Every structure is written in C-alpha cells, then in structure tokens.
C-alpha cells in the first residue's frame, strides 16, 4: 500500500496522478476539504475493487480517531476514483530519467 | 592564407558557455534520483563546477603558451579526455551513482565522489578552451579586449545554456538523452578547438 499527499493546482498534479495510475494496479484519491491537497492511496492488487471496498466500508465500525481529527465518514465522502480526474492527452509520466517536477509545478492545470 | 574570423572563435566560445552551465543543470537531474535536489547536493555540484572552471582556466592558460603544434596536440588530448568524461557521465553515470548511493550510509561522500568522478574532468576540459580562444583573438587585439570578448561571450552562452536547459530541454527530454546530446555537442566543441588553433589554413 502506498499513500501520498499530492498538491493539486498545477500540471505536476496531473503528472503525479498519471504516474501513480501507470505504476499501481489500483489508485484512488481523496479530496482534503478546505485545502489544495489530494491524498493518493495506491495498492498492489487488482481485485477486489478498491473503490468498491471504500464505498462499501461501514465507517461506524471503524475505531474513533476524533482526537486526531480523523473523520472516516468525511474521508469516504471525499473519495475520487481515478477516472474522475481529467488528464490531458499530453500529460507526462514521471520517472527517474524524466522528472521536470519544478517546471511542472509552475505550470497551471490544463 | 584564409583569415581566421573572430566571429567563428566567438561562436565556439558561446557554445562552450552553453555546454558548461547547461551541463550543471543536467548533472543535477542525474544526481536527483539517488541523492535528491537538496542544498547539500547543490553545494557539491556548484563547488565541483567552480573548481573545474578554475582548474580549467589555469590549464588553458598554460596550454595557450605552447607552440602551435604542441598546443594542437595538447588540445587533442584534452578533447579526448573531455569527450571520455562526457561519455562516462552519459553512459556510466547512473550505475556509478547507484553504487555510491548503496555504498555510503551518509550521502555526503557519495555526492562528493559522484560529482568528482562524473563532472570534474569534462568541465575542466571545456573551461581550458577559453584562455586558448582568448589567445587566438588577442593576437591583434591585445589581452584586455580579447579576454573581455571571450568571457563576455562565454557568460552569454552560460545564460543561454541555463535558461534553455531549464525551460526547454529538461521539461521535454529525458536526462539520459540530454547526456548523450551533451556528449555529441562536446565532441564538436573539442574537435573545433585544435582546428581553430591550426588556422590559418593554406588557401
């Protein structure tokens, strides 16, 4: 399992999303309300469906982490399947050999 | 005899400046997957390049005093060393940095050795060309004017190299291909130097 906080708002976000989709069998995203951040959650299995697992989760049975400001119901509500994130055709996958992160982070979303 | 136009020498100087500083940015992309892009990495990278600029200027100054035939021979050796250096950075850089990354628990010696082995020699070779070009231009113009022309033009090349590499090349071309490009470009640069020294050719 891989979890990352990726900053939305620039072309780097689209490249990060495309890179995660290309690297893992399943990826989902969670909007963080009132912030420019998106949490990416990627797993190394193809089945069962990660989106369905999260949608079916009974958050009332999860341990309460209110003291740490963790609201599982809100997290579930803010689920964004990868297909709901528009990626322009020219979006580039980032690798060790090609990673213009600083440049992309200055470009506005297309 | 065919006269050696100063504009051809200055075009080579401009290209040398482009290659020198552009290479620094490409080098940072080569180091990034192994050591990151922290201020520590930049400190070693900038210091390595400045040390190479300094050593190259001393070396080039000494070579510029040699008789033409010896200077041409020295430039051929210098060019071979520089071209080999760019080839090593381009073709062996990644495995070498991977080895250094795995060998040292503390990244600092890995960064230092990596910068030294991959970037020092090719940048010395490039920098050594400038005093030789200054000497070529200064035959009729004097040391002050020729050094001003050469170092001013080289700095314009530096700026072009930095901006073009940062805003055009790195965002569009993989690092491995850029390193091959620098290898090819430097080969032309090193090949031009002895030819310019040997000029004027018999008509």
Phi then psi dihedrals of residue B2, to 5 deg: -95, 125
Token pair listed for B171: 């965002």
ipTM above 0.90, yes or no: no
Q: Do A103 and B166 touch (CB under 8 A)?
A: yes
Segments of chain B with pLDDT less than 70: 1-4, 201-203
Q: Do B174 and A104 touch (CB under 8 A)?
A: no
Q: Do B33 and A98 touch (CB under 8 A)?
A: no
- Distance of residue B3 Cα from the nearest chain A Cα, in angstroms: 45
Q: Does A105 touch chain B (CB under 8 A)?
A: no
Q: Do A103 and B175 touch (CB under 8 A)?
A: no
Sort out which chain A residues have CB atoms less than 8 A from B173's CB and list them.
Answer: 98
Residue A82 has pLDDT above 50, yes or no: yes
Residue A9 placed within a domain: yes
**Per-residue model confidence (pLDDT) at position A57:** 86
Position of tokens 């620094």? B24
Q: What's the CATH code of the domain at B119? A: 1.20.1250
Residue A98 placed within a domain: no
Query: A–B: how many Cβ contacts below 8 A?
Result: 19
Q: Does A27 touch chain B (CB under 8 A)?
A: no
Q: What is the span of the domain harbouring residue A77?
A: 2-84
Number of domains in chain B: 1
**Per-residue model confidence (pLDDT) at position A9:** 87
Number of domains in chain A: 1
Alpha-carbon gap, residue B166 to B175, rounded angstroms? 12
Residue B100 placed within a domain: yes
Structural contact between residues A3 and A101, judged by C-beta atoms closer than 8 angstroms = no
Residue B93 placed within a domain: yes
Tell which wins on pLDDT, A109 or A16.
A16
Residue A93 placed within a domain: no
**Per-residue model confidence (pLDDT) at position B83:** 97
Q: Does A106 touch chain B (CB under 8 A)?
A: no
Per-residue model confidence as pLDDT tens digits over B127-183: 999 999 999 888 777 888 989 999 999 999 999 999 999 999 999 999 999 999 999
Rounded to 10 degrees, what is the CA torsion of B159, B116, B62, B23?
-20
Residue A101 placed within a domain: no
- Pairing outcome for strands A26-31 and A2-7: unpaired
**Per-residue model confidence (pLDDT) at position B86:** 98
Residue A104 placed within a domain: no
Sort out which chain B residues have CB atoms less than 8 A from A99's CB and list them.
Answer: 29, 32-33
Alpha-carbon gap, residue A87 to B146, rounded angstroms? 53
Residue A16 placed within a domain: yes
Per-residue model confidence as pLDDT tens digits over A42-54: 999 999 999 999 9
Residue B1 placed within a domain: no
Which residue numbers of B have CB closer than 8 Å to A's CBs?
29, 32-33, 166-167, 170-176
Tell me the average pLDDT across A2-24.
Answer: 94
Residue B203 placed within a domain: no
Residue A7 placed within a domain: yes
Q: Does A100 touch chain B (CB under 8 A)?
A: yes
**Per-residue model confidence (pLDDT) at position A24:** 96
**Per-residue model confidence (pLDDT) at position A59:** 81
Residue B183 placed within a domain: yes
- Distance of residue B101 Cα from the nearest chain A Cα, in angstroms: 14
Q: How far is CA B173 from the centre of its chain?
A: 20
pTM, 2 dp: 0.87
- Pairing outcome for strands A37-43 and A2-7: antiparallel
**Nearest neighbour of B33 by CB, restricted to A96, A100, A104:** A96
- Distance of residue A99 Cα from the nearest chain B Cα, in angstroms: 8
Q: Does A97 touch chain B (CB under 8 A)?
A: yes
- Residue B113 Cα distances to B82, B96, B110, B124, B194, angstroms: 18, 10, 5, 16, 31
Q: What is the span of the domain harbouring residue B16?
A: 6-198
Tell me the average pLDDT across A55-67.
Answer: 77
Tell me the average pLDDT across A12-32.
Answer: 95
């Amino acid at each position: 399992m891989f979890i990352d906080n990726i900053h939305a708002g620039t072309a780097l976000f689209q490249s990060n999303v495309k890179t995660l989709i290309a690297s893992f069998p399943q990826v989902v995203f969670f909007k963080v309300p009132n912030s420019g951040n998106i949490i990416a959650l990627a797993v190394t299995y193809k089945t069962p469906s990660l989106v369905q697992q999260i949608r079916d989760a009974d958050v009332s049975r999860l341990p309460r982490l209110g003291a740490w400001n963790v609201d599982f119901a809100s997290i579930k509500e803010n689920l964004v399947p990868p297909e709901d994130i528009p990626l322009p055709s020219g979006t580039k996958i980032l690798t060790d050999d090609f990673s213009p992160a600083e440049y992309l982070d200055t470009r506005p979303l297309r | 005899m065919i006269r050696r136009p100063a504009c051809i020498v200055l075009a080579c100087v401009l290209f040398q400046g482009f290659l020198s500083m552009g290479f620094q940015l490409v080098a940072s992309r080569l180091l990034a997957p192994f050591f990151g892009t922290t201020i520590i990495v930049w400190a070693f990278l900038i210091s390595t390049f400045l040390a190479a600029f300094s050593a190259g200027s001393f070396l080039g100054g000494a070579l510029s005093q040699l008789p033409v035939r010896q200077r041409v021979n020295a430039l051929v050796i210098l060019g071979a060393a520089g071209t080999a250096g760019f080839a090593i950075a381009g073709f062996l850089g990644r495995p070498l940095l991977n080895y250094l990354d795995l060998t040292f628990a503390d990244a600092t010696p890995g960064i230092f050795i990596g910068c030294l082995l991959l970037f020092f020699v090719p940048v010395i070779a490039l920098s050594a060309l400038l005093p030789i070009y200054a000497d070529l231009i200064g035959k009729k113009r004097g040391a002050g004017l020729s050094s001003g022309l050469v170092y001013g033009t080289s700095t314009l090349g530096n700026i072009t190299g930095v901006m073009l590499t940062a805003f055009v090349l790195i965002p569009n071309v993989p690092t491995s291909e850029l390193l091959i490009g620098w290898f090819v470009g430097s080969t032309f640069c090193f090949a031009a130097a002895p030819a310019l020294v040997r000029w004027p050719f018999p008509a």
